[in-house]
Structure 1
Amino acid sequence: MKFESMSQRHAYILERLESEGNVRVADLFDALDVSAVTIRKDLKILEDKKLLFRTHGNISRVNPYSKDRSVLEKENILADQKFRIGKRAAEMIEPDDAIIIGSGTTVLYLAKAIPSDLKLTVLTSAMNISMALLDKANVEIVQLGGVVRKTSTSVTGNYAESILDNFTCSKLFLGVDGIDLEQGCTTSNMMEALLNKAMIRTAQKTIILTDSSKFGRRGFGKICPLNDIDQIITDNGVSNTMVRELENQGIEVIIV
């Protein structure tokens, strides 16, 4: 595809971003049939106008770097999507399961959706998850201990990680701050990322619960590469391109 003017190239780039959310810069070289120097100049102009963000080898519509925000601030963001994600995840829990639930607002909706009569054991690092399960008589709660992060109401640290060594669980339901095709799953806090790594080692299956706004974003702490993930449950705001890329890597993507 050959575009004669800079404005045509810019329109094409922005249309790609609008439909896909994230685009690899290498794909633009072939699609626009221009030099790497020309593409970089185009992207610099668009970035200066705040129309896109550049990272290593990729461009995105929104700032890919997530910041640490409190659960109170995040809980009502995309609440309907999180409710549907949590409800779908709860349907995957079987009687007498032993599961891990990480921290975050999306997994909180999972905890609230667990049927009151379902018998299971839940390990969690998040105090708000434990509180949401208190009135469910058949749920045994194992609260991990450690240093409390006030923004997430979750514990972190070596003590919490060592407790996990005493258990094995069938499923881990994990919330993340970012999912990136290159960086994998990330969170905004390094200590929480380390605890999430330990959770992945403890569980037989890792299931990510995330709304579509987290795709293409990156947090400071790297949790795991994409090949450590078995399933992702998200809403229909995720792009078809992202879904295909994830499925090509063997990840089952469930859209609610």
Structure 2
Amino acid sequence: MKIGRLEAVRQHLYINGASTITELCEAVGASVATLRRDLMVLEKGGLIERVHGGARLAEGTGIELGFIQRENANIAAKRAIADAAFELIQPHSAIFLDAGTTVLQLARRLRLNPMPLTAVTNGLPVAQDLMGVTGVKVLLVGGELRPENASLVGPHAEAQLDRMQFDQLFIGAGAISEDLTIFTKDLAEASLNARMLARSRQRIVLADGSKFGRSATYVVGKFSNLTHAITDDTLPTRWCQEIRNTGVELIVTGGSGGADP
């Protein structure tokens, strides 16, 4: 019971950010005294930091927002981006769909309007959504399971990619910095993503406006490595111009209802 409550505290903090003692007590159903003892345990383990009147996740713990929570963030923009990406797919091609949540929406779009093709992925949810879809041959890259992203990564997955070639890669982005470098929070994921880019003729990033102007630890590649970028209309004009200056074909969707394309 204690372990479950400690995990519930951490879950609440990475979904909601810094929280007060009262908020945490209500979230996990514990008394103030019990909650304070739990926070002491988590603090000693380096997992949280105490702040005035509450707590937050410790900086640098590497905890990412869970896949299910991230999947539902900016969902309208992700679906609009997926619709635009779907229009680029050609029947009888070989495509790679990475494990990102926006790419998952593309898999669901393909499920609605299937066409004959080969879809390779390292994302378990992507493979599951495409399972049994008429005409779509699904290949799941094997490797080490990364629970934070419901993905398979590591040297076994990379070795498989070295024996393959793709007409198109559809890849998400954890963060895109000011100099248009794509980052992720995990070294193994960054390494596999770089392999995907090297093995694909068309390289298409799917990223809503919230991913820009951010950074993470591990480099995936530069925008100059891409052929296409698909985003939503929350991305400011200056970013759009900078992307076009790299020679990348930019597609801006209107799914968010924003006014500054």
Q: If the length of structure 2 is used for normalisation, what is the TM-score?
A: 0.71
Q: Pick from 115, 118, 135: which aligns with 2:115?
A: 118
| Per-residue deviation, residues 80-122 of structure 1 (Å, max 9, x unmatched) | 0001111111111011010001111100000000144400001
| Per-residue deviation, residues 45-104 of structure 1 (Å, max 9, x unmatched) | xxxxxxxxxxxxxxxxxxxxx972221110111100001111111111011010001111
Residues 1:185 and 2:186 aligned together: no
Alignment gaps of 5+ in structure 1: 1-65
Q: Pick from 105, 108, 111: which aligns with 1:109?
A: 105
Determine the structure 2 residue equivalent to 1:96.
92
| Structure 1: 4+ residue segments shifted above 2 A | none
Distance 1:117 1:177, change over 3 A: closer
SS at match of 2:95: strand
Distance 1:168 1:102, change over 3 A: same
Letter in 2 for 1:101: L
Are the counterparts in 1 of residues 178 and 214 from structure 2 also a CA contact under 8 Å? no
SS at match of 1:185: strand
Distance 1:103 1:117, change over 3 A: closer
CA apart distance, 1:183: 5.7
Q: Pick from 243, 246, 252: which aligns with 1:246?
A: 243
Give the aligned CA root-mean-square deviation in angstroms.
1.4
Determine the structure 1 residue equivalent to 2:197.
200
Are the counterparts in 2 of residues 103 and 152 from structure 1 also a CA contact under 8 Å? yes
Distance 1:251 1:224, change over 3 A: same
Q: Pick from 75, 78, 90: which aligns with 1:79?
A: 75
Are the counterparts in 2 of residues 185 and 223 from structure 1 also a CA contact under 8 Å? yes
Identity of aligned residues (%): 30
Q: Work out the CA distance in 2 between the residues paired with 1:237 and 1:183.
A: 17
Determine which structure has greater relative contact order: mean sequence separation of CA pairs < 8 Å that are 6+ residues apart, divided by chain length: 1
| Per-residue deviation, residues 201-253 of structure 1 (Å, max 9, x unmatched) | 11011100011100111121100012101111010000000111111111111
Determine the structure 2 residue equivalent to 1:174.
171
Q: Work out the CA distance in 1 between the residues paired with 2:156 and 2:65.
A: 24
Q: If the length of structure 1 is used for normalisation, what is the TM-score?
A: 0.72
CA apart distance, 1:181: 3.5
> In the TM superposition, what are the counterparts of 1:137-176 in structure 2 within 5 Å?
137-176=134-173
> In the TM superposition, what are the counterparts of 1:47-86 in structure 2 within 5 Å?
68-86=64-82
SS at match of 1:182: coil
Residues 1:218 and 2:198 aligned together: no
Are the counterparts in 1 of residues 103 and 170 from structure 2 also a CA contact under 8 Å? yes
Alignment gaps of 5+ in structure 2: 1-61, 254-261
Are the counterparts in 2 of residues 68 and 189 from structure 1 also a CA contact under 8 Å? no
SS at match of 2:91: coil
